[in-house]
Amino acid sequence: MKVYRDLAYVKKRKRAAVLTSLAGVALLGSSYFMVFTAGQADWRTVFAYVPLLAGIIMFHLGMQQVGKWNRAQRNDVILDKLLEGLGERYTLIHYPKVGDRTVEHAMVYPGGVLTITARELPGGVSHRDGRWRKVNQGFSRFFGMGGAFLGNPTADAANDVKAVSAKLAESHMETDVDAVVAFVNPRVAIEVEEPDFPVTNGEGLAPYIASLPAQPALQPAERQRLVEVLTAEGTFETPQAAPTRRPVKRRAA
């Protein structure tokens, strides 16, 4: 399997996560300064709540992004490991820019393009009546803003499919585009009923992708063109081909 990764995008998100956290700390500090320097019944005491609330939100959102982007085992790295057994007919692209949207993960395979909506949160996750929610999270639910987020994987997957389909249509390419929702944390427990897109855990992702039917018309040249279209924008590292060892000639005894 070949892997493309937009390293510049990863660096940008890392920097933005740290700056957001620092901005939250600065707002919190300014609110405390306003309170401690204000006199009794000073108007600054009332207005101190504005940077206080903004600081709390920005700090938690920033720490959430720090946890996502500034850890060694990011989702893209986890997916590389989970899918490394797929053959050369598969190409995994991390953070392709398609139109106004950055799709986090997309797989070009013999049947078309599959976007991967990955979540790394542990614990229970359920999907019922079109709604996602965390279950049996205990006290961790009160700290959800600063930890791994759930959000709405269905909406993210649908937007990814829409963006990739529009990009390929713009390039006059017709191929199947679908999505899968993958919970890559080994400590996750999933309960889903009638999801809009297939849902799998980390261990089941590679078998699911390998089971997808191929399109006979989608030959290597067409798959490579799909890769070129999806990596046209951004700074992607070039996949390195595995070196082949040349046979060593031995003299007969």
Average pLDDT, whole number, for the chain?
85
pLDDT digit string, tens, across residues 226-235: 999 999 998 8
Is residue 60 within a helix (H) or strand (E), and if so which, with residue range?
helix 49-69
pLDDT digit string, tens, across residues 170-223: 999 989 999 999 999 999 999 999 999 999 999 999 999 999 999 998 999 999
Compute the CA torsion angle 206, 207, 210, 211 (nearest 10 deg).
-150
User: Is the CB of residue 123 less than 8 Å from the CB of residue 39?
Assistant: no
Residue 84 β-bridge partners? none
Q: Dihedral sign for Cα 211, 215, 221, 226, please.
A: negative
User: Is the CB of residue 116 less than 8 Å from the CB of residue 180?
Assistant: yes
Instruction: State the Cα–Cα distance between residues 174 and 209, nearest whole angstrom.
Output: 20
pLDDT confidence of residue 43: 65
Q: CB-side exposure of 51: number of CA atoms within 13 Å? A: 17
Map residue 87 onto helix, strand or coil.
coil
pLDDT digit string, tens, across residues 85-112: 998 999 999 999 999 999 999 999 999 9
Closest Cα to residue 108, out of 22, 199, 222?
Answer: 222
pLDDT confidence of residue 41: 57
Q: Dihedral sign for Cα 240, 205, 132, 106, please.
A: positive
- Between 101 and 57, the higher pLDDT residue: 101
Tokens 């993210």 correspond to 156
User: Is the CB of residue 15 less than 8 Å from the CB of residue 22?
Assistant: no
